[in-house]
Structure 1
């Protein structure tokens, strides 16, 4: 079974966080939701999310993928946390998957991981990064890095993650149950 870490910070985008957690679990992925600190996380629109654990409690664990939800406030808090940067660099060095949506690709930039790569993000978030090949696509994969634009692309983003972790058939099964068409 694939394992994914979703770190949550105050100000995260709740639609992105919950979509990622929910759809990955529907696909049978083991998802660990960790707060930067103990206690509830207040998301960008006031929704209160309750992480299962803290980042400190799981830092020594191995995961197949780390997924960073966006939301400007949450992304700024993730970006300022040295533990997150170290975790992302370790994941990249090990050839594991790192995914970020909305404002969170900026965290990957700060960790030094998107130089000379193709990526996407919420409009304006990566515009000052000439070393990135900026795309307007909803979801971009460049090697083990997956990025996406924002709340409206959260389902497509997560379905892409499911395909990477579980295969095309599992992605199709989850998408069919969503009744998107």
Structure 2
């Protein structure tokens, strides 16, 4: 069973975080949510999420994918956290997937993980002049090698389904997607 880490930072975009966590778990992916600080994390619109653990407890573990939800100031907290930065660099170097949506691709860009890659982001979250080696495009989801980026809350479901397909295959994605549109 694939393992995915979703770090949770104060001020994250709850729609993105919950959609990613929910759809991956529906697809039988082991998702570990880890708070940067206290396990109760207040999202950008006041929703309180309770993380499975704190980041220190899992920071040295290997995952198949690390996924950063966006939102502000959550994405800035992720970008500035030295544990998250080291984790992203280590997973990228090991050939594992790194993924970020909305404003969170900034954390990938600031580490050079978007250099020579196509990526998307929430409009205004990244300035092309600041990251001239990245090809920033206006698309809902971009997969370039082992780096996946998504535009924002409105594309969270597409983003999560793409992640699921990468981890579990197209048949699993189709089953989860069908389950979302059919009456229970």
TM superposition score category, shorter chain reference: over 0.9
Is the contact made by 2:119 and 2:143 (CA closer than 8 Å) also made in structure 1?
Answer: yes
Residue 39 of structure 1, CA deviation: 2.7
Runs of 4+ in 1 over 6 A off after TM superposition: none
Residue 77 of structure 1, CA deviation: 0.4
Report the TM-score, using the length of structure 1 for normalisation. 0.97
Distance 1:33 1:88 in 2: 15
Distance 1:71 1:111 in 2: 19
Structure-1 residue corresponding to 2:64: 64
Report the RMSD for the aligned CA atoms in angstroms. Answer: 0.9
Structure-2 residue corresponding to 1:22: 22
Point out the more displaced range, 169-178 or 125-134: 125-134
Residue 32 of structure 1, CA deviation: 0.2
How many residues of Structure 1 are paired with residues of Structure 2 in the alignment?
Answer: 180
Structure-2 residue corresponding to 1:86: 86
Distance 2:88 2:148 in 1: 13
SS of residue paired to 2:91: helix
Distance 2:56 2:19 in 1: 24
Point out the more displaced range, 120-129 or 74-83: 120-129
Structure-1 residue corresponding to 2:117: 117
Distance 2:49 2:14 in 1: 8
Q: 1:167 aligns with which of 156, 169, 179?
A: 169
Distance 2:111 2:5 in 1: 17
Mark the runs of 5 or more structure 1 residues left unpaired by the alignment. none
Report the TM-score, using the length of structure 2 for normalisation. 0.96
SS of residue paired to 1:41: strand
Residue 127 of structure 1, CA deviation: 2.4
Distance 1:39 1:45 in 2: 17
Residue 135 of structure 1, CA deviation: 1.2
2:71 is the counterpart of 1:50 = no
Distance 2:44 2:69 in 1: 11
Distance 2:85 2:32 in 1: 18
Distance 1:35 1:80 in 2: 14
Is the contact made by 2:39 and 2:52 (CA closer than 8 Å) also made in structure 1?
Answer: no
Is the contact made by 1:101 and 1:148 (CA closer than 8 Å) also made in structure 2?
Answer: yes
Distance 1:23 1:13 in 2: 16
Distance 2:148 2:178 in 1: 23
Structure-2 residue corresponding to 1:138: 140
Is the contact made by 1:85 and 1:110 (CA closer than 8 Å) also made in structure 2?
Answer: no
